[in-house]
Amino acid sequence: MKRTRRDWIPFSFYDHTGMEKHLEKMAQKGWMLEELTSFGWKYREIQPQKLHFSVSFDTRASEFEPEPTEEQYTFQEFCQRSGWKLAAASGQMQVFYNEEEDPLPIQTDPEMEVRMVGKLARRMVPAYLILLVLGFFVGGSWCYSLIHTPIKLLTTPGSTFMGLCWLGLFVYSVTDLITYFVWRRRALAAAQRGEFLPTRGCHKLMYVVLGMIVLGLMYWLATERRPGMRLVTGGILLAYVVVFLSVNGTKRTLKRRKASAGVNRAITLSLDVILSVILVGAVMFLFIRGLQSGAISVEQEISAPLSASDLTGVDEEKYLTTVSTDMSLFLDRKEVQCRTGFDQMTEVPWMNYTLVEIHIPILYDACLQELCRDSVVDVAFPIQKEYTCVQYETIDPTPWGADEVYQFSLEGELQQTYILCWQDKLVQLKADWDLTAEQMAVAGEKLVNA
């Protein structure tokens, strides 16, 4: 029984030297390349031996072609006469091997080799630029949020995952493009001297990026505590796998049946679009139905640790109290709003607050700064006025039972907005009435024990 194995290494598109060295090591271990697929490289078992490999690119070829083009057949016959046998080919890439001790290389003109890789680069660089631009804006925005709004960012596992993904892709795209253009400049200079310059890609960096993505996904799934959201995430991932397998399976089937490249491309891309629309639509439909039925909730059913009725003495039934919560390994956040109920004819005193529990002490100061900035924005923007004196003033924390308390000051006038500080907990509380010392004590006791 023939033994086979597969591997998948994310070589840079231009790194033919890295591919060749890898294949030579595999041959010395007793494995010969047999097939290039979307699922990795497939090998068959051979007697361990020292072989030389050469990777060539033909940008005129297409991955949808059922057979090698006439130009590829001609090139393969030329290589065969020179002792280079075809190991595997897929689309634009052809891999040859030679059993001789010191074979004559396929490519004898270093300038032609640089041009060959350059033609491939012209096809690949646009995709890299798209990743670079998206990664810059999404990853840059994530870094900005990490510094200025850590509470909103770090309490949402999905945001942490997406930020790590795009930041990693941005770093990889920049590094790989710089590495390619540096190699190209040096390779052209070496070609003028009649010398070949080996390539050196960034596949090890891609391993790091993929590791970040996998760890970020595991973190997201492990810390996501909103009912049903793991199922939604799993559904999206499953939809992607189904599309990937279906599209590649269709392409391979049509190639085996000798369908033309145009027919194969049209059917495969149409299937890709149709399946994507159907599966994403199905996931979104089930998500909306889950929200309507209550099976999936983006807001957890958690009672408020402190309600306005605890302080005002007004019947709780006259309030509409909403609680939203996000939790992660870094921070927990609860946002509570107490408003007049829809069925009430008269207004009752309102109150809202944000409670932040900090699990990583180094985040404490950044979270405090975010709460301070939120109050300035809330006050200044709705009434479109620029204030010359907007700040928090330190007040006596004793009535609240807190370590420190800050009260918002607008043009020297204290507002009913407070920030309460404990060792691992921060609370921003806003009310539309002047709190008494007794109310402060009740609020502080309930919040510190939340």
What is the predicted pLDDT for the residue at 383?
Answer: 46
For tokens 């097939």, the residue is 35
Per-residue pLDDT of 306-338, as tens digits, reads 998 899 888 888 888 888 888 888 899 999 999
Nearest Cα to 181, choosing from 139, 131, 132, 122? 122
Mean pLDDT of the 393-404 span: 92
What is the predicted pLDDT for the residue at 343?
Answer: 80
The half-sphere exposure of 194 on its side-chain side, counting CA atoms within 13 A, is: 0
What is the predicted pLDDT for the residue at 296?
Answer: 63
Average pLDDT of the residues of the chain: 86
Per-residue pLDDT of 255-277, as tens digits, reads 888 888 889 889 999 988 998 88
What is the predicted pLDDT for the residue at 380?
Answer: 46
Per-residue pLDDT of 160-187, as tens digits, reads 888 888 889 999 999 999 999 999 999 9
Angle at 42 between CA 218 and CA 235, to 5 degrees: 30
What is the predicted pLDDT for the residue at 244?
Answer: 87
> What is the chain's length?
450
**293 - beta bridge partners?**
none
Comparison of pLDDT for 351 and 379, the residue scoring more: 351
What is the predicted pLDDT for the residue at 140?
Answer: 87
Residue 362 DSSP symbol: G
State yes or no: pLDDT of 47 exceeds 50.
Answer: yes
Mean pLDDT of the 4-25 span: 93
Q: Give percent helix, percent strand, percent coil of the chain, each to the nearest 5.
A: 50, 20, 30
Q: Which of 74-83, 153-162, 200-209, 427-436 has the lowest mean pLDDT?
A: 153-162
Per-residue pLDDT of 21-35, as tens digits, reads 999 999 999 999 999
Residue environment code for 431-448, b if the CB has 16+ CB neighbours within 10 A, otherwise e: beeebeeebbebbbeebb
Comparison of pLDDT for 301 and 310, the residue scoring more: 310
What is the predicted pLDDT for the residue at 5?
Answer: 92
Q: Model pTM?
A: 0.79
Mean pLDDT of the 284-313 span: 76
State the pLDDT confidence band at 18, using cuts at 50, 70 and 90: very high
- Torsion sign across C-alpha atoms 388, 392, 394, 397: positive
State the pLDDT confidence band at 11, using cuts at 50, 70 and 90: very high
Long-range contact pairs involving 190-194 (C-beta distance under 8 Å, separation at least 24) = 190/110, 191/110, 191/111, 191/113, 191/114, 194/110
Per-residue pLDDT of 372-389, as tens digits, reads 887 655 554 444 445 444
The half-sphere exposure of 385 on its side-chain side, counting CA atoms within 13 A, is: 8
In whole angstroms, what is the distance from residue 283 CA to residue 222 CA? Answer: 21
Contact 384, 396 (CB under 8 A): no
State yes or no: pLDDT of 43 exceeds 60.
Answer: yes
State the pLDDT confidence band at 54, using cuts at 50, 70 and 90: very high
What is the predicted pLDDT for the residue at 410?
Answer: 79
State yes or no: pLDDT of 48 exceeds 80.
Answer: yes
